[in-house]
Amino acid sequence: MEATIVKDKEKSIWNILETVCDPEIPVLSIIDLGIVRAVQVNEISDTVELTITPTYTGCPAMDMIGAQIRLALAEAGYHQVNIQQVLSPAWTTDWMSESGKQKLQAYGIAPPVATNFNQVYLEDLEIACPNCGATNTKLVSEFGSTACKALFQCKDCLEPFDYFKCH
C-alpha cells in the first residue's frame, strides 16, 4: 500500500516538473530538456529528493531553475525538497525529448540533430531553417545568444536563427 502512495506522489511530481520551464527557452520544460534525472519521495522524512544535471557547467539558468522547482513543488504542498546536482553522466542533447525538439523548432530554434558529438563539425551539418524549412543554411558563429546555441543564417529566406548545439 505504502509503496503505491510513494509511486503516485512521484508521478505527480514528474507532472509538476513538466510545468517548470527553462528560463532562457521558455517553451521547453525541464523534462523536455532532460535535466531531471531522478525523483524520489522519502515517506518517513516527507522529503522530495531530486537529481538534476546541468546543461552547461557555467549555465546561469541552473540556480533559477532550482528556485522555480522549489516554488512549483511548494505550491503543490511539497515543502521539503532536496535538489542534488550531478555532473556524471554528463548531460547530452540526446536526453532532450522528441516533443521538446518539435517545440524548439516551432519557437524558431533549430533543434540538435542526433549524431555523435565528437565527430560533429558545425559547418558540415545540414541544419534546416526553422523559418522556411530550407536546408540551404550557413554557420555564422559557433557561439550564439547563450552557451548552448550556435548562430546560423538561411540563404533562402535570409533569416538568421539559433541552432541548439549537440552536446
Partner 1 sequence: MLQQSIKSFIQQDQQIQYLLHLADNALILSHRNSQWCGHGPILEQDIALTNIALDQLGQARNLYQYAALLITEKTGISTTEDQLAYLRDVGEFKNCLLAELPNGDWGQTVLRNFLMGSYQFFLYQELQQLASGQLKAIADKSIKEITYHVRWSADWVVRLGDGTTESHARMVQALELLWSYTGEMLEPCDYEQGLIGTQSSYIKAAWEAKIAAVLAEGNLVHPTNDWMQSGGKKGLHTEHLGYLLAEMQFLQRAYPGLEW
Q: Residues 94, 98, 104, CA angle at the centre, nearest 5°? A: 95
Q: Does 143 bind partner 1 (CB under 8 A)?
A: yes
CA dist 5 and 140 (Å) reads 52
C-beta separation of 28 from 22 below 8 A: yes
Q: Does 142 bind partner 1 (CB under 8 A)?
A: yes
Question: Which range binds partner 1 by CB under 8 A, 8-16, 35-43, 71-79, 87-95?
Answer: 87-95
Q: Does 128 bind Zn ion (CB under 5 A)?
A: no
Q: Does 110 bind Zn ion (CB under 5 A)?
A: no
Packing angle, helices 2-17 and 61-75, rounded to 10: 130
Least Cβ distance, residue 7 to Zn ion (angstroms): 46
Question: Which range binds partner 1 by CB under 8 A, 12-20, 72-80, 107-115, 116-124?
Answer: 116-124
By beta-carbon proximity to Zn ion, the closer residue of 90 and 132 is: 132
Beta strands at 149-154 and 160-164: parallel, antiparallel or unpaired: antiparallel
C-beta separation of 31 from 16 below 8 A: no
* Binding residue (CB under 5 A) for Zn ion from 64, 74, 106, 132: 132
* Binding residue (CB under 8 A) for partner 1 from 1, 3, 44, 87: 87
Query: Which residue has cell 522529503?
Result: 47
Question: Which range binds Zn ion by CB under 5 A, 11-19, 47-55, 73-81, 132-140?
Answer: 132-140
C-beta separation of 33 from 22 below 8 A: yes
Total residue length of the chain: 167
Q: Which amino acid is at 8?
A: D
Least Cβ distance, residue 140 to Zn ion (angstroms): 13
- Which residues sit at the interface with partner 1, rule CB under 8 A? 54, 56-60, 86-91, 117-118, 121, 140-147, 151, 165, 167
